[in-house]
């Protein structure tokens, strides 16, 4: 049996020492890692490398990490984008998520921890990651809201996810489960209130996000700090 290809990871980071450190730790886990120090260099490398995961600093020479995120989201719609940044303040998280990032790590980054997240990402099924995310955030598994919120995340994580309305999701869930859209809405909104209060939420998930954007961000990242 042929071994699966390693996860392809592209790191855009202006600091050479940080690039070398990341390459060492992530390479130890068997990941296929390429690095770039500038925005234009990262785009050129991505064209040939086709990364499955992009790790980027927001502050890059050439053009910003935000521009890199936007371009990669347009060209490689399935790429997972995590920001590793020294930028502080709510603006950084809001701008990164709005550009298309899925998750934010604030520097100094613990590279062994980052490696653990990436290897989990490599080995797990997307549906399992979504279920695991809800469980670790403290949503009770016996709630109807757990299963209906999970279904929302699954629908939002698809190629049409960004364009879906919550109303459409509730109607779809109601058809699948034989309940009313109002019941599905009530259960999911109750679940979202609990999830928003979780102390394990990534810092990038601002309390100002709408329920739709909050769930969409969870569906795209599904990686919660341990």
The model's pLDDT over 142-162, given as tens digits with 9 standing for 90+, comes to 888 999 999 999 898 877 888
- pLDDT more than 90, % of the chain: 36
Q: What is the largest CA-CA distance in the chain?
A: 56
**Domains, in order of start, for the chain:** 8-123 (3.40.50.2300), 126-221 (1.10.10.10)
Distance from C-alpha of 26 to C-alpha of 22, rounded to nearest angstrom: 6
Q: Is 223 a residue whose pLDDT tops 60?
A: no
Q: Locate tokens 């109002």: which residue?
A: 182
Mean pLDDT, range 31-37, rounded to an integer: 94
Distance from C-alpha of 213 to C-alpha of 207, rounded to nearest angstrom: 10
Q: Which of 27-31, 107-111, 119-123 has the lowest mean pLDDT?
A: 119-123
Paired tokens of 48? 């040939």
Mean pLDDT, range 113-142, rounded to an integer: 77
Q: Which of 77-81, 134-138, 202-206 has the lowest mean pLDDT?
A: 202-206
Mean pLDDT, range 193-208, rounded to an integer: 77
Q: Is 21 a residue whose pLDDT tops 60?
A: yes
Q: What is the CA radius of gyration of the chain?
A: 18
């Amino acid at each position: 049996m042929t071994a699966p290809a390693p996860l392809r990871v592209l790191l855009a980071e202006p600091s050479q020492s940080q690039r070398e450190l990341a390459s060492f730790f992530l390479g130890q886990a068997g990941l296929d890692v390429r690095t770039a120090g500038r925005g234009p260099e990262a785009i050129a490398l991505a064209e040939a490398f086709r990364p499955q995961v992009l790790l980027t600093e927001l502050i890059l020479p050439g053009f910003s990490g935000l521009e890199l995120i936007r371009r990669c989201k347009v060209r490689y719609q399935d790429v997972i984008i995590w920001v590793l940044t020294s930028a502080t303040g709510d603006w950084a998280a809001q701008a990164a998520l709005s550009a298309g990032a899925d998750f934010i790590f604030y520097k100094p980054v613990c590279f062994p921890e980052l490696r653990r997240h990436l290897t989990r990402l490599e080995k797990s099924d997307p549906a399992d990651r979504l279920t695991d995310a809800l469980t670790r955030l403290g949503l009770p598994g016996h709630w109807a809201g757990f299963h209906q919120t999970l279904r929302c995340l699954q629908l939002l994580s698809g190629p049409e996810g960004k364009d879906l309305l919550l109303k459409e999701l509730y109607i779809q869930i109601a058809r699948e489960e034989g309940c009313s859209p109002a019941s599905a809405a009530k259960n999911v909104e109750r679940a979202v209130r609990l999830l928003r209060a979780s102390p394990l939420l990534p810092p990038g998930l601002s309390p100002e996000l709408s329920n739709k954007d909050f769930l969409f961000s969870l569906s795209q990242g599904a990686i919660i700090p341990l």
